[in-house]
C-alpha cells in the first residue's frame, strides 16, 4: 500500500514465515519436550551407573574353568548387612547337567542361595565354587554368559516383544530370537499379537498375560543357550493350568543343562535329581523324592500337607470349577477342632467345601471382624499379619495345604489376624452354616465343637492377655 515492499518480497516473506514458524512450532512442541524428558531419563541412568558395586571383581579375574557347569557351596554362612545369619554352614553340591531343587518354607534361604551362586553378594564364611574355582576369583562376564535366571516376576521394558527377548543377548538375530520364542513355546502366541514380534508389550508387559510374560522371560534366558538355568519360583505366581504348561516347557529345556530350581511347591520339584530341603538357613535333608518320603522327615511332612488338597484337571481348576478341587478328608484332621472326628464326618465336611479364586494382594480375612468362613489353601501363598502395639507384625506365610480361620466355625469368633493373598490363590472355603449342618448329624463332632468353644473362652480370658509381642512372633 505504501510501496515499501514489492509483491515478490511479500511472497518471499510469507513462504519464509511459514517455514520458520513451523520450525519454531516443532522446536517447542516436539524437540524441547523430548529433550527435557530424555534429560530426566539420562539422569536416572546416571544414578544407576553411579551406584557403588556391592561386590567388586577380583583384580585379576579368571574365566570359569572349562567343562560342564557345576556349583558347590562349601560351608557357607551368610547374613544380609546388619542382620542375623540366614544361611548357616550350608554345604551343597550342584553337579553338572543335573536338576537340583531347593525346597523349604518361606524365609528358609532358597533365594539367598541363588543370589550367592550369581555372586550378587559374598558369604561371610565358606566359599561358593563354580567348576572348582571360588566365584570371587571368577570374571563376572565369563559366568554370566553361561548362566541364565528366571525369577517369579520378570521385568518387562516398555518396548516390543522382540526387544524384550533380545535383552538376553544384545545383537541377537531375528532367527535366534524366534528360535528362543519357539523353545519357550511363545512363538504362536506372538504371531497372534496385532504386530507380531513388533507389538509393544506395554508398561511392565501389560499387553501380555502372566504366563506369556514368564514364557518371554524364559525365551530371554534361553536365547543365550545357557549351560546353567536358575529358576527362582519361576512359575509359582501362575494359575494352576498355566503353571503346569510352563513347567512342562521348562522340563524340556532343562535337558542337558545344570538346573537349580527354587520352589515351595513340591509337585513341581519332585522329579528333580536331587532335592535339598532347607529350614531356617540349614540343609536339613537331601535326596531323591522316594528316598525322602521313605525317611518320613520334614520333606515327607511337607509332601503330606501339600497333597492334602487334590487339584484334579488343572484346566478345570483354573476356571474355578468346584469339582476339580477337593480337600482330602484325612487332611482336615490337622485342624485342631477336627482332630478327633470320625472319617465319615470329615468326608461330609470336605464335600461341603467350595473353591474360590482370589487375586494377589487382597485381604481374605481382617483382624477384628466377625468371621463365618474357614479356609484351606489349595494353591497359592498368603501372609498373616497382626497388630501388636500399634504396628503391623508379620506372623507367617502360609501356602499349599495350610489352613486358616477355623475359629470362625464357632459362632461369634472374631478374626485374630489379617490374612492377605501374596499370589493368586485357589482357596477351599467352608461356610459356618454348612459346617453346622454336619455338626448336627454327628454327636462326636458336636461334643468336639462344644469343647473347643469352652477352650476358646478360657483362652480369651487368660492366655491372650498374657501374650506379649515376643511370644506371638515366636509362636
Ligand X SMILES: Nc1ncnc2c1ncn2[C@@H]1O[C@H](COP(=O)(O)OP(=O)(O)OP(=O)(O)O)[C@@H](O)[C@H]1O
State the residues that interact with ligand X by CB under 6 A.
80, 83, 86, 104, 106-112, 264
| CA–CA distance, 405 with 371 (Å, rounded to integer) | 8
SS3 214: helix
Contacts of 253 (CB under 8 A, 6+ apart): 183, 184, 218, 222, 229
- Please, which residues bridge with residue 259 across strands? 99, 229
Q: How far is CA 254 from the centre of its chain?
A: 20
Residue number, 13 or 80, with CB nearest to ligand X: 80
H or E segment and range at residue 230: strand 228-232
Site residues for Mg ion per CB under 5 A: 111
CB of residue 258 to ligand X, shortest distance in Å: 20
Contacts of 182 (CB under 8 A, 6+ apart): none
89 binds, among Mg ion, ligand X, none (CB under 5 to 8 A by kind): none
CB of residue 232 to ligand X, shortest distance in Å: 7
CB of residue 264 to ligand X, shortest distance in Å: 5
213 binds, among ligand X, Mg ion, none (CB under 5 to 8 A by kind): none
CB of residue 421 to ligand X, shortest distance in Å: 14
CA atoms within 13 A on the CB side of 320: 9
Q: How far is CA 2 from the centre of its chain?
A: 80
Q: Is 365 exposed, middle or buried (0-12, 13-18, 19+ CB in 10 A)?
A: buried
CB of residue 280 to ligand X, shortest distance in Å: 8
Residue number, 25 or 80, with CB nearest to ligand X: 80
Residue number, 299 or 442, with CB nearest to Mg ion: 299
CB of residue 110 to Mg ion, shortest distance in Å: 5
Q: How far is CA 224 from CA 123, 214, 422, 449, in A?
A: 28, 16, 32, 59
Give the residue carrying C-alpha cell 487332611.
Answer: 331
- For the chain, helix, strand, coil in percent to 5 are 45, 25, 35
Contact yes or no for 419/363 (Cβ under 8 A): yes
Residue number, 77 or 111, with CB nearest to Mg ion: 111
| CA–CA distance, 21 with 17 (Å, rounded to integer) | 6
SS3 143: helix
CB of residue 371 to ligand X, shortest distance in Å: 26
107 binds, among Mg ion, ligand X, none (CB under 5 to 8 A by kind): ligand X
Nearest CA-CA partner of 314 in 211, 206, 182: 211
Residue number, 111 or 393, with CB nearest to Mg ion: 111
Residue number, 83 or 256, with CB nearest to ligand X: 83
> What nine digits make up the cell of 256?
542337558
Residue number, 107 or 287, with CB nearest to ligand X: 107
Residue number, 266 or 434, with CB nearest to Mg ion: 266
CB of residue 126 to Mg ion, shortest distance in Å: 20
120 binds, among Mg ion, ligand X, none (CB under 5 to 8 A by kind): none
Contact yes or no for 345/327 (Cβ under 8 A): no
106 binds, among Mg ion, ligand X, none (CB under 5 to 8 A by kind): ligand X
Within 10 Å of residue 358's Cβ, how many Cβ atoms? 19
Contacts of 228 (CB under 8 A, 6+ apart): 69, 71, 146, 147, 148, 257, 258, 259, 260
CB of residue 214 to Mg ion, shortest distance in Å: 16
| CA–CA distance, 317 with 319 (Å, rounded to integer) | 5
CB closest to Mg ion, residue no: 111
112 binds, among ligand X, Mg ion, none (CB under 5 to 8 A by kind): ligand X
CB of residue 232 to Mg ion, shortest distance in Å: 6
CB of residue 112 to ligand X, shortest distance in Å: 3
Residue number, 384 or 452, with CB nearest to ligand X: 384
Residue number, 303 or 435, with CB nearest to ligand X: 303
86 binds, among Mg ion, ligand X, none (CB under 5 to 8 A by kind): ligand X
| CA–CA distance, 212 with 216 (Å, rounded to integer) | 6
Residue number, 90 or 365, with CB nearest to ligand X: 90
| CA–CA distance, 442 with 241 (Å, rounded to integer) | 37
Amino acid at each position: 500500500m505504501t510501496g515499501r515492499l514489492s509483491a515478490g518480497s511479500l511472497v518471499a516473506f510469507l513462504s519464509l514465515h511459514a517455514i520458520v514458524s513451523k520450525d519454531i512450532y516443532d522446536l517447542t512442541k516436539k524437540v524441547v519436550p523430548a529433550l527435557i524428558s530424555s534429560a530426566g531419563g539420562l539422569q536416572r541412568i546416571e544414578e544407576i551407573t553411579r551406584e557403588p558395586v556391592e561386590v567388586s571383581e577380583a583384580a585379576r579375574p579368571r574365566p570359569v574353568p572349562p567343562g560342564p557347569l557345576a556349583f558347590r557351596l562349601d560351608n557357607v554362612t551368610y547374613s544380609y548387612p546388619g542382620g542375623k545369619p540366614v544361611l548357616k554352614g550350608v554345604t551343597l553340591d550342584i553337579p553338572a547337567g543335573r536338576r537340583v531343587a531347593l525346597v523349604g518354607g518361606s524365609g528358609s534361604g532358597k533365594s539367598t542361595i541363588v543370589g550367592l551362586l550369581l555372586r550378587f553378594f559374598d558369604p561371610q564364611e565358606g566359599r561358593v565354587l563354580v567348576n572348582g574355582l571360588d566365584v570371587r576369583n571368577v570374571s563376572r562376564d565369563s559366568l554370566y554368559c553361561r548362566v541364565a535366571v528366571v525369577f517369579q516376576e520378570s521385568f518387562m521394558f516398555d518396548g516390543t516383544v522382540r526387544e524384550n527377548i533380545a535383552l538376553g543377548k544384545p545383537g541377537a538375530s531375528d532367527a535366534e530370537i524366534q528360535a528362543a520364542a519357539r523353545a519357550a513355546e511363545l512363538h504362536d502366541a506372538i504371531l497372534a499379537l496385532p504386530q507380531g514380534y513388533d507389538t509393544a508389550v506395554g508398561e511392565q508387559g501389560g499387553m501380555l498375560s502372566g504366563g506369556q510374560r514368564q514364557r518371554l522371560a524364559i525365551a530371554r534366558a534361553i536365547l543365550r543357550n545357557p549351560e546353567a538355568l536358575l529358576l527362582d519360583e519361576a512359575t509359582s505366581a501362575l494359575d494352576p493350568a498355566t503353571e503346569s504348561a510352563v513347567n512342562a516347557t521348562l522340563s524340556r529345556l532343562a535337558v542337558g543343562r545344570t538346573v537349580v530350581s527354587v520352589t515351595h511347591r513340591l509337585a513341581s520339584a519332585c522329579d528333580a535329581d536331587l532335592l535339598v530341603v532347607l529350614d531356617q538357613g540349614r540343609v536339613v535333608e537331601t535326596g531323591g523324592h522316594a528316598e525322602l518320603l521313605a525317611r518320613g522327615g520334614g520333606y515327607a511332612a511337607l509332601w503330606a500337607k501339600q497333597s492334602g488338597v487334590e487339584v484334579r484337571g488343572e484346566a478345570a481348576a483354573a476356571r474355578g470349577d468346584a469339582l476339580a478341587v477337593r480337600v482330602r478328608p484325612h487332611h482336615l484332621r490337622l485342624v485342631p477342632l477336627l482332630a478327633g472326628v470320625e472319617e465319615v464326618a470329615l468326608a461330609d465336611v470336605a464335600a461341603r467345601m467350595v473353591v474360590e479364586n482370589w487375586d494377589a494382594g487382597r485381604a481374605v480375612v481382617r483382624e477384628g471382624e466377625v468371621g463365618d468362613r474357614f479356609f484351606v489353601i489349595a494353591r497359592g501363598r498368603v501372609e498373616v499379619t497382626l497388630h501388636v502395639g500399634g504396628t503391623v507384625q508379620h506372623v507367617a506365610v502360609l501356602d499349599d495345604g495350610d489352613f486358616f480361620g477355623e475359629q470362625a466355625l464357632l459362632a461369634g469368633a472374631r478374626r485374630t489376624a489379617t490374612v492377605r493373598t501374596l499370589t493368586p490363590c485357589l482357596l477351599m472355603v467352608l461356610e459356618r452354616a454348612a459346617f453346622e449342618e454336619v455338626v448336627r448329624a454327628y454327636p462326636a463332632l458336636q461334643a468336639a465343637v462344644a469343647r473347643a468353644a469352652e477352650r476358646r473362652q478360657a483362652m480369651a480370658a487368660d492366655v491372650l492377655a498374657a501374650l506379649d509381642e515376643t511370644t506371638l512372633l515366636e509362636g
